[in-house]
Homo-oligomer: A and B are copies of this chain.
Amino acid sequence: MRPMLNMITLGVSDIERSASFYESVFSQRRSKYSNDGIVFIRLTGIVLALFSHKALAKDANVESVGSGFKRFSMTYYASSEAEVDEITSSVEKLGGKQTKKPQKATWGVYSSYFCDPDDNLIEVAYNPVLPLSANGELDI
């Protein structure tokens, strides 16, 4: 297995609601490969897929029952604290539920967190220690 992940799939309760949310947040339309049952949004490096949570459990052959904190987050790295503030503000206007206002953690990362309609966490972060390449990817 090469060191690669191609897709992260979120099992959501309303595909269209989630698709509209992420299309707005990323200013990116869904891929033409999307259909009524699954939506793909191509991001740099990885594809975000939105799929019914019941269908995902069935496809993975696991129990579909779960609740509360999902123990994962997705992070967008900004290139400055000002960009974190700006993005946080615009995501809030798009309906993202902010769980943490932009602030500096004890270890130096400046970030905010918001939730998508299914309470999946997205962090918007500026980390002065981790270098970003010219196209914005983490170069670590």
Contacts of A60 in B (CB 8 A): 73, 99-100, 113, 121, 123
Q: Are B71 and A140 in contact (CB under 8 A)?
A: no
- The distance in angstroms between the C-alpha atoms of A44 and B137, with both chains bound, is 10
Contacts of A44 in B (CB 8 A): 2-5, 45
Q: Are B7 and A138 in contact (CB under 8 A)?
A: yes
Considering only residues 11-61 of chain A, those with a C-beta below 8 Å from chain B are: 11-12, 25-28, 31-33, 37, 40-49, 53, 56-57, 59-61
Query: 30 A-B residue contacts at CB 8 Å?
Result: A1-B25, A1-B26, A1-B27, A1-B87, A1-B90, A2-B26, A3-B41, A4-B43, A5-B44, A5-B48, A6-B77, A6-B137, A7-B138, A9-B74, A9-B75, A10-B72, A11-B72, A11-B73, A31-B140, A44-B45, A57-B69, A60-B73, A60-B121, A62-B113, A65-B69, A66-B68, A67-B67, A70-B72, A71-B118, A71-B120
Residue A130 lies at the interface, judged by CB distance under 8 Å to chain B? yes
Q: Are B91 and A9 in contact (CB under 8 A)?
A: no
Which of A73, A100, A120 has the most chain B CB atoms inside 10 A of its CB? A73
Considering only residues 95-140 of chain A, those with a C-beta below 8 Å from chain B are: 99-100, 105, 107, 111, 113, 115, 118, 120-121, 123-124, 129-130, 132, 136-138, 140
